[in-house]
Copies of this chain bind each other. A is one copy, B any other.
Amino acid sequence: MSLVVVGSIAFDAIKSPFGERERALGGSAVHFSLAASYFTDVRVVGPVGDDFGDEEYAVLHRHGVNTDDIEHVEGGRTFFWAGEYEWNVNVRHTLDTQLNVFGDFQPKLSDASKAADTLFLANIQPDLQREVREQCSGAKPAALDSMNYWIENARDSLLRTIGTVDMVLMNDDEVRMLFEEPTLLKGVRRIMELGPSAVVVKQGEYGAALFTESGFFALPAYPLETVLDPTGAGDSFAGGLLGYLDAQGGADDDAALRRAMTYGSAVASYWVEEFGCERAERLTREEIDERFEAFRRMTTVEGVPAG
């Protein structure tokens, strides 16, 4: 099985109450592909500039991520984002965004990527997401992420793109905003009317919820003593989730989706323990499996005793 992800590749300047990094490897496609690499074969599609070199490729290659579809734009600079987290690291401020080569990105998938079994359209312009989906039309599941910016500025296109995928992953505020529905459940129903059979609602520090035609499932975030840097948490969650599903042959029954949610949550819980994707440098599959079991234990409701 194989999984392809299309999205941003970036350098991030990150400041949190616990330290800072001036130039951390980041971007949704990077976080996603490193996380998914613990489960399946991953191909990453995205643009980089001249400042993206051997060191950065090596991070991806050490995780077995195929980088053939990374597009090197001569003379360009890689996407750059700067942000700062407050004392409560759940509150983030963007200080700077330089699109650079990402501004003119036109995704071109190789034949190998077009043939991928599973597709993740990370948070990019919805027209581009739809073009990628058309190039990779056989993938199942195909999933997308988006953000408030596209809901405000490209809503019609986003709705059309949602109609082409099996699964949507969005933040809870975005789900409410998309159709101006006050409850998540109503917002989710509207999304599913467009086509997707599953909606995964990311809730940051509160975990994530899964809505399918047959039911509802939710997981808390793993309780951590310290969160150094939440950057990439959502994308690493998506990577663990879709990586696991791809490894299962794209199973999309509720049981597989629940396990996938749990793997995604396990991966994300490690991700935020260090800056950027640094935790991935020494993260093992065994650690992920251990936390999967911890999630199972901490969500078990015991039966009611008789009488």
- A residues lining the B interface (CB < 8 Å): 17, 87-89, 176, 180, 182-186, 203, 205-207, 209, 211, 215-220, 223-227, 255, 258-259, 262, 292, 295-304
Q: Are the CB atoms of A300 and B258 closer together than 8 Å?
A: yes
Q: Are the CB atoms of A301 and B87 closer together than 8 Å?
A: no
Chain B min CB distance to A23 (Å): 25
Q: List 11 A-B contacts (CB under 8 A).
A: A89-B182, A183-B224, A184-B205, A185-B223, A185-B225, A206-B206, A258-B301, A292-B304, A295-B301, A296-B303, A299-B299
Chain B min CB distance to A36 (Å): 17
Cβ–Cβ < 8 Å partners of A87 in chain B: 180, 182
Cβ–Cβ < 8 Å partners of A219 in chain B: 301
- 9 smallest beta-carbon distances between A and B, as pairs: A218-B220, A206-B206, A255-B302, A185-B223, A296-B301, A216-B223, A216-B298, A299-B299, A262-B301
A182-B298 CB under 8 A given contacts A220-B218, A292-B304, A304-B292 = no
Q: Are the CB atoms of A225 and B89 closer together than 8 Å?
A: no
Cβ–Cβ < 8 Å partners of A203 in chain B: 206
Q: Are the CB atoms of A223 and B209 closer together than 8 Å?
A: yes
Cβ–Cβ < 8 Å partners of A17 in chain B: 182
Cβ–Cβ < 8 Å partners of A186 in chain B: 225-226
Q: Residue on B with the closest CB to A85? A: B182
Q: Residue on B with the closest CB to A203? A: B206
> In the complex, A211 Cα to B220 Cα: how many Å?
13
A298-B218 CB under 8 A given contacts A223-B211, A304-B259, A304-B292 = yes
> In the complex, A17 Cα to B206 Cα: how many Å?
25
For the complex with contacts A183-B227, A211-B223, 14 further pairs of A-B residues with Cβ separation under 8 Å are A182-B227, A184-B205, A185-B223, A186-B226, A203-B206, A206-B206, A207-B218, A216-B223, A218-B298, A218-B299, A219-B301, A258-B301, A258-B302, A295-B301
